[in-house]
Amino acid sequence: MSALLLIAVACYAFGAGHALAALWRPLSPRWFWLALWLMGAGFAAHTASVVVRGWEVARCPLLSYQEVCSFLGWAIAAYFLGAYAWYRSQSFAAFAMPMVFLFALAAWLLPAPSDTAAVLKFYGQTASLLTLHAVLFVFAYAAFAILFVAAILYIVQERQLKRKQFGPLWSRLPSLDTCDDVSTKALMIGFALLTLGILTGIVGSRRLNGVYWHGDPLEFLSLATWLIYFCVVHYRLTAGWRGRKAAWLGIVGFAIVIVSLVGIGWFNGFHAIG
């Protein structure tokens, strides 16, 4: 797994470097295509590393901080490549590629768990349900990462429009409608997955410990995340919220997601993992 993950990290590093360089000055289109091909190669190697890890441990590789970082980086890469295939916007790469690289790099640097058999034994018959709970959360967080990127691009572009001061990025930014469309799709996908993730977690907790709520910090953060994105969904559907308000709430929601991800390894409680 480490060799495959290292290949993925190297490919993502080139993509991230190109994306950051393109923020400051226009580059030849062939450099973007090379970065995109390397991103695809990195995603293939990353996919193989996740599959190999799952094969080695005979479970879904989501029981340690290292595995969560790897799985989340892989999911964001999958969303990014899907979004690029749909919208053909190079600007998303400037933010999405570095994010994918950082999660993959963290997974490569962190130590792999030595023994998770005791955890699986503790979960018992609820292991499958709790695994589904974790997978749903990771894919929801990856969708919110794409929403975060689209929200940043929207706010940058709107600010330049209001001030009528167009920076070097202006000509390479996607339209406001494209940013809003990407945000809406990522919001709906992420919110549906997060809701299902919370529900499966509640049911799994009830079956495992006989309680619906443990009261640990991650549960409060998950509830706060769900409420923020619920507000965005609600006001988009009922009050026609679009643009800046929804973008700022998407950024706030993703900040809580980041705190939750960091907290998985630091907070004590039912959801703490090593």
pLDDT of amino acid 162: 78
What is the DSSP secondary-structure string of the chain? -HHHHHHHHHHHHHHHHHHHHHHHS---HHHHHHHHHHHHHHHHHHHHHHHHHHHHHTS-S-SSHHHHHHHHHHHHHHHHHHHHHHH--SHHHHHHHHHHHHHHHHHHHSPPPS--HHHHHHHGGGHHHHHHHHHHHHHHHHHHHHHHHHHHHHHHHHHHHHHT---TTGGGSPPHHHHHHHHHHHHHHHHHHHHHHHHHHHHHHHHHHS-S----HHHHHHHHHHHHHHHHHHHHHHS---THHHHHHHHHHHHHHHHHHHHHHHS-STT---
pLDDT of amino acid 272: 63
pLDDT of amino acid 261: 85
pLDDT of amino acid 135: 95
pLDDT of amino acid 243: 72
pLDDT of amino acid 269: 67
- Residue given tokens 């997978």 in the structure block: 135
pLDDT of amino acid 163: 75
pLDDT of amino acid 171: 66
* Residue spans of the chain under pLDDT 70: 1, 22-28, 113-122, 166-172, 265, 269-274
